[in-house]
Amino acid sequence: MKRRSFIKNVAAGVALPSLLGGFGVRLHATAPLGRLMSALDADNDRALVLIQLDGGNDGLATLSPLDQYDRLKKARPNIALPENRLLPLTGLSTLAMHPAFIGMRNLYEEGQVRIVQNAGYPNPNLSHFRATDIWMSASHADEFIGSGWAGRYLAYEYPNFPIGYPNANMPHPLAVEIGYSMSLSLMGPQTGMGFVIPDTQSYYQLLAGEQAPAPNTPAGEQLAYVRLIAQQSRVFAQAILDASKKATNQATYPDTPLAAKLKIIARLIAGGLKSRFYLASIGGFDTHAQQADTSDPTKGAHAQLLQQLGDAVWAFCQDIQALGVADRVAGMTFSEFGRRVASNFSDGTDHGEAAPLFLFGTPVAGGVTGSNPKLPLNPTLNDNLPMEVDFRSVYATVLRDWFCVPEADVPSILMHQHPFVNGLFRPGMACLTSSVREDHWEAGRSLLTCRPNPFREAVVLDYESTGGPTVVQILDASGRIVATPVSGWQAQGRYQITWDGSALPAGVYFCRLVSGQAQQTRTLQKH
pLDDT score for 216 = 56
Which tens digit of pLDDT belongs to each residue from 131-162?
A: 999 999 999 999 999 999 999 999 999 999 88
pLDDT category at 235 given cuts 50, 70, 90 is: confident
CA dihedral 453, 458, 463, 468 (to 10 degrees): 140
For residue range 346-365, list pLDDT tens digits in order.
Answer: 999 999 999 999 999 999 99
Percent of the chain with pLDDT over 90: 75
Task: Using pLDDT thresholds of 50, 70 and 90, give the confidence band for residue 479.
Answer: confident
The mean pLDDT value for 68-87 works out to 97
3-state helix, strand, coil in the chain (%, to 5): 30, 25, 45
**pLDDT-based confidence at residue 5 (cuts at 50, 70, 90):** very low
**Predicted local confidence at residue 36, as pLDDT:** 33
**113 vs 107: CA distance, rounded Å:** 6
Q: What is the pLDDT of residues 514-526, one digit of tens each?
A: 988 788 999 999 9
Q: Which residues contact 345 (CB under 8 A, 6 or more apart)?
A: none
What does each C-alpha distance from 499 to 194, 432, 452, 464 come to in angstroms?
32, 34, 11, 16
For residue 451, pLDDT over 80 is answered with yes
Full set of structural domains in the chain with CATH: 5-38+69-437 (no CATH), 447-526 (2.60.40.1930)
Residue 230 is predicted with a pLDDT of 45
- pLDDT confidence bin for 218, thresholds 50/70/90: low
| Coil, strand or helix at 289 | coil
Distance CA 42, CA 38 (A): 12
- Report the SS3 class of residue 55: coil
Asked whether residue 501 carries a pLDDT value surpassing 80, the answer given is yes
Examine the pLDDT at 119 and tell me if it is beyond 70: yes
Let me know if 93 is exposed, middle or buried by CB neighbors in 10 A (0-12, 13-18, 19+).
exposed
* Of 131, 81, 121, 72, residue with least CA distance to 285: 131
Res 30: pLDDT: 33
Q: What per-residue confidence (pLDDT) applies to 29?
A: 33
Label residue 294 left, alpha or beta by phi (over 0 means left) and psi (-120 to 50 means alpha): alpha
What pLDDT does 215 receive? 52
Bridge partner list, 280:
51
Separation CA 205–CA 292 (nearest Å): 37
- CA contacts within 13 A on the Cβ side of 60: 37
Q: How confident is the model at residue 219 (pLDDT cuts 50, 70, 90)?
A: low
Q: Distance between terminal CA atoms of the chain?
A: 50
- pLDDT by residue (tens digit) across 40-58? 333 448 999 999 999 999 9
92-97 β-sheet, strand order: 63-65, 92-97, 87-89
pLDDT of residue 211: 58
Element holding 261 (H helix, E strand): helix 257-270
CA nearest 273: which of 46, 444, 29?
Answer: 46
Rounded to 10 degrees, the C-alpha dihedral 403/407/409/412 comes to: 100
Q: pLDDT value at position 14?
A: 25
Is residue 391's pLDDT more than 50? yes
E strands, 121-199, where?
A: 175-178, 195-197
Stretch 212-240: mean pLDDT: 55
- Range 268-274 average pLDDT: 96
Residue 227 has pLDDT above 80, yes or no: no
The mean pLDDT value of the chain amounts to 87
Q: Are 155 and 193 in contact (CB under 8 A)?
A: yes
236: left (phi over 0), alpha (psi -120 to 50) or beta: alpha
Which of 25-39, 160-174, 323-337, 492-506 is predicted with the least confidence, judged by mean pLDDT? 25-39
Q: Are strands 458-465 and 493-500 parallel, antiparallel or unpaired?
A: antiparallel
